[in-house]
Chains A and B, each alone.
Chain A
């Protein structure tokens, strides 16, 4: 147990930091055009992602042909930590970088990797993830969008919802039911569906933040023809791809929450000091609790990382998302209420605009509070997380 990583890992971090200092987009570039959804990537952001890819800094754990340098787990981690600390996004199509491309690399053929995974990594195309449906949220395996194999193509009918960025994406990695007679986990398949396919309709809808906050989509499939060669993995084996995808999502999540809690400490601390509340006992109580949460989450994350490095499955990993998302939500609400009537103004920024950071994290405290529910709902609600932890970690009966 020690407070620093080993020298080789720290040297890796330093090398990346030096590269970032020289290559990260400057503020004027980043402010020239703002991303409007999680699949809308302005030209400057495409250039930025490609420069990371070419230098082997996009996904350092990958081989060079996939944007990496065969880095070790700890090196991958400090790379993430350095980006997160500086509020720099390696990609403005995060689901493409962290879920869809890894799924294609893990389950796709060489042709599929060349055709979709590498272009996603090089920001030539953007991707959305088609999982949830109106009647399949927490119960994902209950999804009903049908795909029928007809010669050399699938015919897809049904509907997806919550499909982030679909209206700006080039392709959707969609999970569909190919065998309606099999038990629900066994009849699913995974398809790459181009968004310009005839019969595919995307309807973006506003979030609770406002009618103009357009990232979520309903996606309708009406006799959409998809080439059989777009099947990822084996037919009816989509559940393996889906759980693999969610695995990627979970593995990267805690650092995001840790970074968010650090932001809350920083932005909340500045707000508290500026308002002369630094000696208010009620404020000190919730803010102290936030400080405790922020440190605890990071420590638990570090422990998970140390275990992963030894190839030991860390059961406590499952609590990171639950704990991190709920801590962030509680602190954001406390800050909102600490502002009194000033908290009512939805246009009052919670922190100076940070050009490379998503604007949602410097938006009003009200908007940040609303967005905190993404943490406690998306990727498995807090209630589902508690069920999973109770059964898998504490050994309670189903």
Chain B
């Protein structure tokens, strides 16, 4: 396997990092948390750069890039604790619409993203039912913990149709959304109540093959969220390294102590492990490899392991200084951890990865 970013991908990584670092400093995240900024300015900048349309097909007006470029960009935005609806729009809404909508609807819905529209996905087949009603569908149920569910323009709801799954794109106004509190106030989560919401056929994608397409989109969402967690973890390591090189005790930098070094190395290894699996997931999705689902689960499991160790060691290595609101560490600790329970916890994804591998090893009579 040729597992190195190519020159264009390295350049994309550099550009996104530079711009994200400049446009989304800790002060902006703090202002958003304090309610003094709604991140609209940052979103406008991202739209001007065409980044929300990163994986929108070129024919639909987007940049036509793959899931590899998407995880690269999302890692950099996680690194700055991006407070915009970028994650949900690019890794949840766009993949679902791209995979499931027929050409006409796709062009219309993704065209809106190219001009600044936002979206998200509710993977809620277990909680939302869609029933056929005349020449359309009616949705009922409650989808919980939907990323940006309270502020996205369009909600792509994965609902059960009775004989399978369907994707129904619902405008925000048709749904009652309640933002749910999280410890990362710059990250939006909402519960969506769909009370007999009517969806016309032009926004309902429920042909039999759609379940497989939903799986594909879900893998991309999982990998995207994992990449964001890795990015936030990376920022924590950078802050910790800076701190332990400068902070002196007993006349020497604390980074010269082996106890400190070994914790820092474990943080680094956890990040490298998770990042490699995020890139692999992006690649498996981009090439529609048979290991796509396994790869996405491994990425999320590893990102979960990564955030757990990196946030714990990160706060510990900062000592008292990391135990303050004033220190920027807390911003990225929150972002690294907020993704853990979403779209499957790391232990759920570990079990999923284990089952996929064990399934191939079951004695034939048990299959």
Contact = CB atoms under 8 A, between A and B. Distances in A.
Given A4-B1, A272-B358, A273-B362, A396 B280 contact: no
A285 interface: yes
B279 interface: yes
Contact of B276 (A4, A6, A303): A303
Interface of B: 1-6, 9, 68, 241, 244-245, 252-253, 255-256, 258, 260-262, 264-266, 268-269, 272-274, 276-277, 279-280, 283-284, 287, 289, 294-295, 298, 301-302, 305, 347, 349-355, 357-358, 361-363, 366
12 contacts: A266-B361, A272-B358, A273-B358, A273-B361, A284-B355, A287-B358, A291-B294, A295-B298, A299-B277, A300-B272, A306-B3, A386-B266
A257 B277 CA distance: 18
Contacts, number: 158
B358 A278 contact: yes
A299 B302 CA distance: 13
B2 A2 contact: yes
Contacts of A278: 355, 358, 362
A234 to B, nearest CB: 35
A389 B265 contact: yes
A292 B1 CA distance: 17
Given A284-B350, A319-B268, A394-B268, A299 B255 contact: no
A220 interface: no
A387 interface: yes
Contacts of B274: 296
A269 B362 CA distance: 9
Interface residues of A, number: 49
A368 to B, nearest CB: 18
B255 A3 contact: no
A323 B268 contact: no
Interface string A275-298: 000100101110111011101100
A3 B361 contact: no
Interface in A1-25: 1-6
A287 B354 contact: yes
A210 interface: no
Given A273-B361, A396-B244, A292 B302 contact: yes
A397 interface: yes
Main secondary structure of the interface of B (DSSP, over half): helix
A307 interface: yes
Contact of A285 (B245, B298, B347): B347
A291 B283 CA distance: 18
Contact of B2 (A1, A272, A393): A1
A151 interface: no
Contacts of B354: 283-285, 287-288, 291
Contact of B284 (A3, A288, A391, A394): A3
A288 B352 contact: yes
A113 B166 CA distance: 70
A390 interface: yes
A323 B264 CA distance: 14
A315 to B, nearest CB: 10
Between B6, B264, B279, the greatest number of chain A beta carbons within 10 A of the residue's beta carbon is seen for B264
Contact of B350 (A265, A285, A396): A285
Nearest to B289: A3
